[in-house]
Amino acid sequence: MKNTHRTLTAVGNASGSVLVLGAFIALWWMASTSGWVNRAFLPTPQATLQSLLQGLAGGELGAYTWATLTRMFSGWVLASALGIALGALIGSSGRAREWIAPTLEFIRPLPASAVMPLAIALFGLSGGMVLAVVAFGAMWPVLLATLHGLANVHRQLREVSRSLELSHLDFVLKIGLPNAMPDILAGMRLSMTVSLIVSVVGEMIASQPGLGQAILLAARSFQASELFAGIVLLGAMGFASNVVLALAERSLLRWQRP
Amino acid sequence: MTDSVLHFDRVAIELGGRQILSPVELTVKRGEFVCVIGPSGCGKTTLLRAAAGFVTPSGGSVRRKGAPITGPSREVAFVFQDYGRALLPWRTVQANVSLALEAANVPAAERPARIAHVLRTVGLQAHAQKFPAQLSGGMQQRVQIARCLAQRPDVMLMDEPFGALDAMTRETLQDELARLVREEGLTVMFVTHDLEEALYLGDRVIALRSNPTPELPSLAALIDVPLPQPRDQLSTKEHPEFLRLRRELYHYLGH
Amino acid sequence: MTDSVLHFDRVAIELGGRQILSPVELTVKRGEFVCVIGPSGCGKTTLLRAAAGFVTPSGGSVRRKGAPITGPSREVAFVFQDYGRALLPWRTVQANVSLALEAANVPAAERPARIAHVLRTVGLQAHAQKFPAQLSGGMQQRVQIARCLAQRPDVMLMDEPFGALDAMTRETLQDELARLVREEGLTVMFVTHDLEEALYLGDRVIALRSNPTPELPSLAALIDVPLPQPRDQLSTKEHPEFLRLRRELYHYLGH
Amino acid sequence: MKSLAFPALLIGALEVWARTTGQGSDAIAPPSAALRAFWGAAMDGSLFQATAFTLGTAALGLLIGALGGLLLGTLLGLSRRAARLGFLSVEVARPIPSVALIPLAMLVFGFGLRMELSVVAFACLWPMLVLTQAAVQQVEPRLLEVSRALELTAWQRFAWIIGPAIVPRLFVALRLGVAIALVVAVTVEIAANPHGMGYAMMIAQQSLDPALMLAWLVWIGVVGYLINASALALQHRVARAMGEQVA
Amino acid sequence: QSTTKIVFGYTAVTDFASVFVAAENGYFKKRALDVELKFIPINSTIPAAVQADSLQIGGPTPSVFLQSVDGGLDHVVVAGAGVTSKTITGFGLVARAGSGIRKAQDCVGKKIGVPGLGAFLHVTFRAWLKSQGVDYTKVNFVEAAFPQHGDLLRGGSVDAVVSADPFMSRITDTGVGYVASYYSTFLPENQPTIIHVARRDWVAKNPAAAKSFREAVQEAAAFMNQPKNDAAVRAAIGKYIKLPPEVIAKVQISPPGPVVTEKQLTYWVDLMKDQGMLKTVPDVARLIAK
Ligand SMILES: Nc1ncnc2c1ncn2[C@@H]1O[C@H](COP(=O)(O)OP(=O)(O)OP(=O)(O)O)[C@@H](O)[C@H]1O
Ligand SMILES: Nc1ncnc2c1ncn2[C@@H]1O[C@H](COP(=O)(O)OP(=O)(O)OP(=O)(O)O)[C@@H](O)[C@H]1O
Ligand SMILES: [Mg+2]
Ligand SMILES: [Mg+2]
């Protein structure tokens, strides 16, 4: 009885969510068919769907999607690991803060699009180079969130840890990072998106196979429906990965709203 | 003075530019139970925090076993007044207690038994899997006490530890605490607002005063409680000496 | 029943899949002072939260002035048990109190006087400019009480409001509260662990029980306190009826 | 001093690389040459003009995006129903790379301020939204109950309770947002919009002046660093005004 | 007679020389045109800028133009800039030293960098490969901007690049690579490399201005065709393309082709259709403004 009720509300929520998205798509449809925006740049949803299906049937788009997906995912894993580790290091050690934080703050605002040519010159045109740029570009949300979470441990919890004489490492692992967990998870959600975006930019600039290159070529050859098919795929990818992340988040943050 | 566990050597404390505690001179011996009373905001918590090494006195020093205190130690357990904030919200009751064992590097195999034991002591065995947010105020306070017990400290600094407990739970824990002091030589400093509790538990009771001046220092009174040990909820509280001391303290507190 | 301010109509509450309160039937009249006692974790806070509209009962309903409660109202003030969390840490004491006045759209010109007045009532006039983090536990609790007083509610729901206060401050506030009830027709539900406090303040005392079953429902006892009004810290607490009731309650709580 | 150790090391390495292996490269120049090029750009005023354009656009775009993100994020953070209804749309729109929107923005607005603004605002909206939502969800539940007990209006609840409570986290979002705004603004200028620092960098690249290009790149980093430093300083000031409860 | 304001978008190639000369010599002004020259770093953004009216006239490559038309933009050719010529050795296939690439057949299975996938050099290079009987789908093309070509060859990321001067000569000068083929010399002559396009409705509204623009470019082309004016032409180029003076002095200048014919466009349409770059067949006659 209770279970059916729960399933019903879940279905209700899902369909509501779909309806909202449907409303946005309807808006898109109106904008494109009414000619507010030139069709060459904003294709109709139907045309986009058609390009999408054609591309997927040809197998090409599927391969691109897979390439971008793996790049995004490995970049994201790297970025999260790097962000948490560096964040924990800087957030908990004054010395680390003095030595490396300013350098990081300097690198942070450098656009991937501007750094990439430099990286290509130094390291060549390879998937590894792009991955490094992705990991580097996507780690900031996680890093900042980790820093914030570590800095904002409530005074009393700090004192608990001191009175238990927790080692520095234990404090970071058992109090600092769990305390930062909600922030880190939000950061990781962002990081996932940034990772996808930088992957795409990387594919565009460093000429690696993937959705980024497909989008770039479509944009360049004014194939708006193909461009949007790529964007739709990106949206779907981002959505799918975020659903997984949201589920993980729900179980990890169970304590927040029990 | 080999058995002096805590020694307050003319400890004066300033906070936010205001003199909170004027020089306090006090020695607490091993196995002694000292209760601290005084009006709200007079500096009881501050005194305990100095004993724990959380604040550094602006004057004088606190010594533990003869050595000046430089910072908190695992041998000293602190029960915070603000119990809600002293627990890790992301850990269950049992994992919160476990923290103390992890800190002391107790092997993982030994932990469950020790956790179960202290949870039974505070009457929370049925709630081991809950998160702090799922507990009532009094239950949170007991989790904190359980963690401090699991720590097996030499000294317990307890800041209104039983404040949110009903009379019965409170009496059970009072007796449990008294037993630990007697049997394991635990030394306790205990802040409370309940005069009866102070007299029932304490070997000595110190009364602090707000806004100390050189003429009227922080330490308003230091009262010995010569009631026989072990004490008992019924007979001790009807003891003529108990009633006399209660009246005396009542007056110290401004009545 | 025009003067029924709160009516619990077979209120049952489940939390986390567990039955916390079995059907509670209770009517609180205008100007009445009802004290709630019971062991730690028995559901006292939960009962008050239902009265405030923070939780929706899983069975039955709570009615205020005849209408079912849909959510919190400004006419009902709630003093939370965990005082440390109920204050805005970024506002000073006086700004925290001011919040209630701002919420009620009290003109800015009137606020300082009203703030000063309630701060004097709780004895914090000297600390108006401090932030909560600079206050002792008892002082934080009093700030919260001051905010609720400033709200000028019809009903006060107080969850262990005096738990962190020393005997003297507590007695002052008890008498202040009793005066408000008498003079302004305030209705109060008051959770406490202190039997004497419950008897001293309450017109009625209800005792709750943990883990209710159909045979042993949550409401373990409902005791009228026929002590004369106004009450007095000395004479009331020596009144034979007071002592008799105290003993009676003591037994209800499992002794 | 220590903070300069790593950059100095990097610059030294680059100088050596550019003078040996990398000699004759059209993409990299020795930092010393870059410094000279930088001086030239500073003297003829092009530096400040381009910087002002990029910073102005980035700031305005961030403002627009941040306000939208703040509003939506608060809504989604407070109301579980809104969060569930909006989830799909937000998560589908969020991963759209802003660069993919450049052609569209370009077509609608042409060159200039508005097109860059729209892309920057779009890029800043999502991080602000996600972080605001997370911050709102972490507001002490007791304080939300206080606001309900006082029957605060939605606006009062935001201005008095939620707003101040999320300020520390908003600064994290702001610092991220600043970098994102700058990155996207420069990217838009590189890819399409003929204004600002990115455009200047492109001109340098296409006129075979890697030293000037490197100078611009470093300058962008310096500008970002300074902005971040001032955001931090502001954060500390605000924290102090709020009773130092934030670290 | 009121002057017409025109913002004109160009990229950093010498094919725009006729426009630079027209601006420098006042050919625009005397036809009541107020032309502002705007440097656009990326050629393929020009059609969008024209569509958004940020530019009234812009100079995309024919392939970019035809793809934009294919995508639905209603633009027409107003005039032409440069054209191909067998004498031009300003771009070609540059192979990495030691790669052993000599002829078209050697490119099979190799990684070759082009400055833009689907852009002018890529399309013409594929056309050359095809004319040599090589299946260009077996060649692995990657995109890399001109300034990176040298570094990429040196680092071994690519085997060869399709590059252009001055980058090409810098690569050969340092010995990192050598020119495997000036393949452009095999391409048909007199095909447009850059064309000036505008929105059809703009041309309809400003027929006189469009015509004047073409006439000004024609006058400039005549000026350029006189060898004695070489220095003046190079000075005009140096003014609008910020290249080092020594580069300007050496660079080869494509011959001007101010008038674009249907036949010339058809060449490009065929080329692109052949390479699968167009979805529809454009009506070439409609694409040239009279
Ligand atoms: N960080 C601080 N800055 C300034 N003043 C402070 C600070 N912390 C505490 N105080 C002041 O020190 C005094 C003593 O505080 P303390 O917490 O020791 O009181 P207490 O005796 O424990 O009171 P209670 O019984 O209410 O808990 C109070 O007046 C308080 O305002
Ligand atoms: N969110 C929740 N989820 C599950 N169980 C809960 C939740 N909140 C409270 N409980 C349970 O409800 C019971 C009653 O809690 P409540 O806070 O009402 O107790 P109380 O009588 O106020 O106790 P105390 O005197 O210790 O404050 C407790 O056993 C607690 O574990
Ligand atoms: Mg205290
Ligand atoms: Mg409670």
pLDDT digits (tens, 9 = 90+) for C150-169: 988 999 999 999 988 888 88
| pLDDT-derived band at B93, boundaries 50, 70, 90 | very high
Amino acid D219: pLDDT: 84
Average pLDDT over residues A169-186: 86
Amino acid B2: pLDDT: 54
User: How would you list the strands of the sheet with C67-68, edge to edge?
Assistant: C18-29, C4-15, C59-64, C67-68
CA of E61 to the centre of ligand 4 (A): 77
Q: Name which of A87-96, B146-155, D132-141, D203-212 the model is least confident about.
A: D203-212
Average pLDDT over residues E46-65: 88
Tokens standing for E78? Answer: 């107003």
Average pLDDT over residues D204-219: 80
B85 CB neighbours in chain A (<8 A) are 154, 156-157
Q: Tell me E82's DSSP state.
A: B
Query: Which atom belonging to ligand 2 lies closest to the Cα atom of C46?
Result: 18
Q: Name which of C182-196, D113-127, E250-264 the model is least confident about.
A: E250-264
Nearest to C103 among D151, D164, D243 (CB): D151
Q: How far is B102 from chain A (nearest CA, A)?
A: 9
Tokens standing for B74? Answer: 């695992």
Amino acid C1: pLDDT: 46
- Residue E140 CB: number of other CB atoms within 10 A? 14
Residue D244 has pLDDT above 70, yes or no: no
| pLDDT-derived band at B1, boundaries 50, 70, 90 | very low
Tallying the residues shown for chain C, one arrives at 255
Q: State pLDDT tens for residues A15-36.
A: 777 888 888 888 888 877 777 7
Residue E201 has pLDDT above 80, yes or no: yes
Residue A98 has pLDDT above 70, yes or no: yes
For residues B147, B153, B200, C197, the Cα torsion angle rounded to the nearest 10 degrees is -30
Q: How far apart are CA E192 and CA E260, in angstroms?
A: 7
Amino acid C79: pLDDT: 92
Average pLDDT over residues C231-246: 82
The string of DSSP codes covering C41-108 is TSSHHHHHHHHHTSS--SEEEEEETTEEP-S--TTEEEE-S-GGGSS-TTS-HHHHHHHHHHHTT--T
| Alpha carbon nearest to ligand 1 atom 31, residue | C135
Residue B190 has pLDDT above 90, yes or no: yes
Mutation choice for ligand 1 from C139, C166, C173, CB with most ligand atoms inside 8 A: C139
Amino acid letter, B69: I
Average pLDDT over residues C188-205: 91
Amino acid D24: pLDDT: 64
What is the share, in percent, of chain E residues with pLDDT greater than 90? 2
- Looking at the complex, does the CB of residue C56 fall below 8 Å from at least one CB of chain D? no
Residue B51 has pLDDT above 60, yes or no: yes
Q: Which residue of E lies nearest to A209 if distances are taken between CA atoms?
A: E142
Average pLDDT over residues A196-204: 83
Amino acid A198: pLDDT: 84
Q: How far is D193 from chain E (nearest CA, A)?
A: 8
Residue A168 has pLDDT above 60, yes or no: yes
Nearby residues of E50 by Cβ (< 8 Å), 6 or more positions away:
E9, E56, E57, E58, E73, E75, E197, E198, E199
- In terms of pLDDT, which residue wins out, A118 or D102? D102
What is the share, in percent, of chain C residues with pLDDT greater than 90? 35
| Nearest CA-CA partner of C42 in C174, C152, C206 | C206
Q: Name which of A98-102, B159-163, C88-92, E201-205 the model is least confident about.
A: A98-102
Average pLDDT over residues B65-91: 88
- In terms of pLDDT, which residue wins out, C251 or A157? A157
Residue B199 has pLDDT above 80, yes or no: yes
Q: Hey, which residues does B158 pair with through a beta bridge?
A: B79, B190
- Residue E280 CB: number of other CB atoms within 10 A? 10
Contact A38 E117 (CB under 8 A): no
SS3 state of residue C160: coil
Q: How far apart are CA C226 and CA C229, in angstroms?
A: 9
| Alpha carbon nearest to ligand 1 atom 27, residue | C137
Q: State pLDDT tens for residues C15-64.
A: 888 888 888 889 999 989 999 998 888 899 999 999 998 888 998 899 98
- What is the ipTM, given to two decimal places? 0.81
Residue A126 has pLDDT above 80, yes or no: no
- Looking at the complex, does the CB of residue E70 fall below 8 Å from at least one CB of chain A? yes
pLDDT, mean over chain A: 81
Amino acid A201: pLDDT: 82
Average pLDDT over residues B199-221: 87
Amino acid letter, D27: A
Question: pTM here?
Answer: 0.83
Contact D103 A219 (CB under 8 A): yes
Handedness of CA A82, A84, A85, A86 (dihedral sign): positive
Nearest to E54 among D110, D205, D208 (CB): D110
Residue A11 has pLDDT above 70, yes or no: no
User: How would you list the strands of the sheet with B187-191, edge to edge?
Assistant: B76-79, B155-159, B187-191, B33-37, B204-208, B219-224
Fold of B1-16+30-75+153-255: Rossmann fold (3.40.50)
Which is it for strands B33-37 and B187-191: parallel, antiparallel or unpaired? parallel
Radius of gyration of chain E (CA): 19
Contact B137, B83 (CB under 8 A): yes
For chain C, give every domain's residue range.
1-16+30-75+153-255, 87-152
Nearest to A164 among B53, B74, B85 (CB): B74
Residue A207 has pLDDT above 80, yes or no: no
Residue B33 has pLDDT above 60, yes or no: yes
Amino acid D247: pLDDT: 32
Amino acid D176: pLDDT: 84
Radius of gyration of chain D (CA): 22
Q: State pLDDT tens for residues D131-185.
A: 898 888 888 888 888 888 888 888 888 888 888 888 888 888 888 888 888 888 8
What is the share, in percent, of chain D residues with pLDDT greater than 70? 94
Tokens standing for D58? Answer: 């980035």
| Alpha carbon nearest to ligand 2 atom 18, residue | C43
Residue A9 has pLDDT above 80, yes or no: no
Place of tokens 């010569």: B226
Average pLDDT over residues B209-217: 84
Chains E and C touch (3+ CB pairs under 8 A): no
B99 CB neighbours in chain A (<8 A) are 160, 164, 174
- In terms of pLDDT, which residue wins out, A35 or E210? E210
Which residues have CB under 6 Å of ligand 1? B 15-16, 20, 38, 40-46, 81; C 134-139, 164
Amino acid A200: pLDDT: 84
